[in-house]
Amino acid sequence: MSVIAATMRAALAEAWSNRSAFWTQVTAIVLNDIVWIVFWVLFFRRVGPMRGWDGDSVLVLLAVLATSAGISFGILANGRRIGWFAADGDLDAALSLPVSTLAYLLVRRVETVHLGDILFGVVLFAFVGDPTPARIAVYLFGVAVGVAVLTGFLVLTGSMAFFTGRTTIGDMGFNAMMILSSYPVDIFVGASKVLLYSVVPAAFIAAVPARLIEDPTAADALGGVVAALVFCVGGWVAFSLGLRRYTSGAAWTRA
Amino acid sequence: MTLRLILTSMATAARRNTSDRSSVLVNIVFFVVVASVMSALWRAAAEANGGEIVGYSVVAVTWYALAAEAATVSLNMRMIELVCDDIASGAVATELLRPASVLGVRISMAIGAALPRLAVCCAAAAVLGPIVGGAPPRALGVVLAIPALVLAIACNLVAQHAVAAAAFWARDVRAVWFLYQKIVFVLGGMVLPLQVLPDGLERTAMLLPFMTMAYVPSRLAAGFIEPELLLLQVAWLGVLLVTAHLVFTAGERRLQVVGG
């Protein structure tokens, strides 16, 4: 565990080493995220409340999404690269280490730009989330669920590259997850909505946590925990099985 | 820059992009997902407002969303970053050795790469639209929307090159693509019809070139027969081409002076 913690510290130090680049990237992503606030404000100003969502609740959704995605893409940045590593044979360096390969890969690299998402999410929640101790606790719980589901899903779909030799499924999974989790889940109906709670679990990244903050229910909380467990275990199993089929590309540096 | 060279560059890029079947599949899935989400959002908005939102019916707003996504998913929104990388690394210097305009070849290839993806998105929209929303409100609108989509991606790619040329002077402007993309999102009408914007902002957006990149084809596909929008696109394309040419020429001169 200390090796993994040290690896994460080194990755964070690496990201922090170039201060001007760090702040440039963080500022760029924060401005990028602010545009989403503009979009939702304009949207609800014209549309009004819709299927149980209004401007305030969607901004809470945005805060949870930014924090979860920021942690998953920023601190566990290699989660979305598993497929590329598998397809390109880039895992040799990680395989030689006496630690869990998956755990090491996940913390090995920090994507600076997404640290801005974390900052944005926390600040946005502070402003729009009405942060009482109870709501902060639910927010942190929701973010943990979101990170677990998102990272587990990305590892699971990325690991398909071990079997197919292509990154297509991982790329599609990433794109679908990012788009579908950015909107209130209740705009979807029927089979699409079922899909978002199961095969592509985008509902658990932000919509369910946001609903929990506004109106906590045991069913939503339990659903979040189950989804987190299922996708974390699923990701780990897929990666472990895939690793048995891994073929080296004689590349030593990218992981 | 001859017409033959432009067409050859476009054809080469088109062939290269269609040879990778998996990336075509990713493109289709991405378009279907994003178009489904946006059309679901706006259908829900229209339904919440008695079946119409800012003059768009449920069906019209569905086709607006499909066309807007086709106009943006078809092209690489990170083109700015790629061009910046090539300028900053000096890779563009080797292109100066060719007896052809660097900008001309690059834009031709970018458009050539985007056209097959646009065709695929249009085909997917033709299937998806009737399923999620219904038949297009006006057939003529769809007919007008097709050239408008081509002009939209041309305007977008030329503008991205004009912005990316800043890399000839500034060391790293790659992050600008984030902001550019978001401007197209809102002021270009990609994620919302411009009529949703507050009055002042809507008027401003109508005066900017970004509206040619998503709003125009989407407005036409939504059944508003306004062919003058096509002329507006052509005019803006001309302005953007001249701007990109001037900035690139000045940048190339600077690159040669500094030594590349």
CA B23 to chain centre: 19
Closest CA to B218 of B56, B38, B65: B65
| Residue A1 banded pLDDT, cuts 50, 70, 90 | low
Task: Dump pLDDT digits (tens) for A82-97.
Answer: 998 988 888 888 888 8
Residue A63's nearest CA partner among A6, A142, A8, A137 is A142
Q: Distance between CA atoms of A70 and A113, rounded to whole angstroms?
A: 9
Residue A249 has pLDDT above 80, yes or no: no
The C-alpha angle with vertex B217 and arms to B132 and B221, in degrees rounded to 5, equals 40
pLDDT score of B20: 75
pTM: 0.83
Q: Which of A187, A193, A196 to mutate to test the interface with B (most CBs of B within 10 A)?
A: A187
Share the mean pLDDT of chain A: 90
Among residues B154, B123, B148, B110, which one has the least CA distance to residue B17?
B110
In the three-class reduction of DSSP (H, G, I as helix; E, B as strand; rest coil), residue B105 is classed as helix
Q: Give me the half-sphere count of Cα atoms (radius 13 Å) on the Cβ side of residue A3.
A: 10
User: Can you tell me the ipTM of this complex?
Assistant: 0.76
Tokens of A86: 């598998």
Q: Which of B28, B195, B196, B210 to mutate to test the interface with A (most CBs of A within 10 A)?
A: B196
pLDDT for res A235: 96
**A196 CB-near residues (< 8 Å, 6+ apart):** A180, A185, A188, A202, A203
> How close does chain A come to B100, measured CA to CA in Å?
35
Q: What is the pLDDT of residue A116?
A: 92
List all residues 6 or more positions away from A123 whose beta carbon is below 8 Å from its beta carbon.
none
- Lowest model confidence (mean pLDDT) among A43-57, A106-120, A231-245, B245-259: B245-259
Helix, strand or coil for residue A254?
coil
- Pair A202, A180: CB distance under 8 Å: yes
pLDDT value of residue B256: 61
Q: Are A33 and A116 in contact (CB under 8 A)?
A: yes
Mean pLDDT computed over A179-200: 85
Could you list the beta-strand ranges (E) of B73-223. none
* 8 Å CB contact of B48 and A187: no
CA A36 from chain center: how many Å? 17
Measured between CA atoms, the residue of chain A closest to residue B38 is A183
Taken as a whole, chain B contains a residue count of: 260
Positive or negative: CA dihedral B126, B130, B133, B137: positive
Q: How much is the pLDDT for B260?
A: 45
In contact, A184 and A53? CB cutoff 8 Å: yes
How far is A192 from chain B, CA to nearest CA, in Å? 10
- Cβ pair A48:B172 closer than 8 A: no
Which residues of chain B fall short of a pLDDT of 70?
1, 171-175, 256-260
Handedness of CA B84, B85, B89, B95 (dihedral sign): negative
- Which pLDDT belongs to residue A73? 93
Buried b (16+ CB within 10 A) or exposed e, B102-140: bbbbbbbbbbbbbbbbbbbbbebbeebbeebbeebbbee
Chain A environment of B181 (Cβ under 8 Å): 32
Is the pLDDT at A62 greater than 90, yes or no? yes
Phi, psi of B170 (to 5 degrees): -90, 145
Token pair, residue A161, equals 């590259």
Q: Which neighbouring-strand residues pair with B56? A: B53
Task: Please give the helix or strand (H or E) that residue A92 lies within, else none.
Answer: helix A92-95
| Token representation of residue B225 | 């027969």
B186 vs A contacts (CB less than 8 Å): 35, 38-39, 42
Q: How many CB atoms lie within 10 A of CB A24?
A: 16
Dump pLDDT digits (tens) for A9-24: 998 898 888 888 888 8
Are B244 and B106 spatial neighbours (Cβ–Cβ below 8 Å)?
no
Please tell me if residue A199 touches chain B, with a CB cutoff of 8 Å.
no
